[in-house]
Amino acid sequence: MAYDYLELVNDLNRRVNETELSSSNFADATGFYNTAKDAINSSIRLLNQEQFQWPFNYLEQEDVLTAGDMRYDIPYNAKTIDYNTFRIKRNATLGNTTVTLKVMDYEEYLSKYVDSEYNEDTSIRTVPTHIVRAPGNQYIVYPSPDKNYELIYEMYSLPVDLILHSDVPSAPEAYRHIIVDGAMYYVQTFRNDNQSAQMSLQKFNEGVKNMKAIYINRFEYLYDKRVHF
């Protein structure tokens, strides 16, 4: 059995004794089936709201810096970004080694280094050593880069709604039943079956709890992050 939007909706259809859809009539289905489609997406949204850092939403982002530019836009689909993971990637052509960027507070940047954004003197440009989280959806590298360095950082993405019948959720297939449990809550609420809706929500919450135990509640070892002088 495939794991995609169509089959998740059909999982839901079988639970409520409705006719299954096919790839040919999925897009044009109306009535209850639109409710079923919405319920699957609502359940996936709820699942992703339960935890900011599900590993299946992890991404390694690579941006190419532009010489002289210090501010860059954060990807539109970024949910959380780990600013401790920013690094300049080794590049033999550009002649630089890998450099991990230190996090600098935005207020410190404004008080000490912001003039670099407006200074056109190319002699002050070099390999960036610091990363700054700007108040808007941007980050700042300092000093101003002198070359088009490759910047790597790690983030967790915001999953988009499923639209096409062949779209696949970011959550692994092993947890499809949890998505359907959540969708059952929305369908039963729509049908005013509040008692069954609460039972489905309870099953969904138990499933999410088990997922957290597997993916989130891990402590391989303790790491001392204190700065020693």
- Tens of pLDDT, residue by residue over 84-141, are 999 999 999 999 999 999 999 999 999 999 999 999 999 999 999 999 999 989 999 9
Using the CB atoms, write b or e for 168-194: b if 16+ within 10 Å: ebbbeeebbebbbbbbbbbbbbeeeee
Residue type, 227: V
Using pLDDT thresholds of 50, 70 and 90, give the confidence band for residue 216. Answer: confident
CA angle 115, 121, 122 (to 5 degrees): 120
> Domain extents for the chain?
5-53+171-215, 58-156
Q: What percent of the chain has pLDDT over 90?
A: 89
DSSP for 156-173, written as a single string: EE-PPPP-STT---SS-G
Q: What span, in angstroms and rounded, lies between the C-alpha atoms of 162 and 6?
A: 10
171-206 pLDDT, tens per residue? 999 999 999 999 999 999 999 999 999 999 999 999
pLDDT score for 48: 93
pLDDT of residue 149: 98
Residues whose CB falls within 8 Å of the CB of residue 131, separated by 6 or more in sequence, listed in order: 83, 86, 101, 102, 103, 104, 139, 140, 141, 142
Measured in degrees and rounded to the nearest 5, phi and psi for residue 209 equal -60, -40
Question: What pLDDT shows up at residue 69?
Answer: 97
Whole-number Å distance between alpha carbons of 208 and 46: 10
Tens digits of per-residue pLDDT, 41-58? 999 999 999 988 899 999
At residue 141, the pLDDT reads: 98
The model's pTM is: 0.81
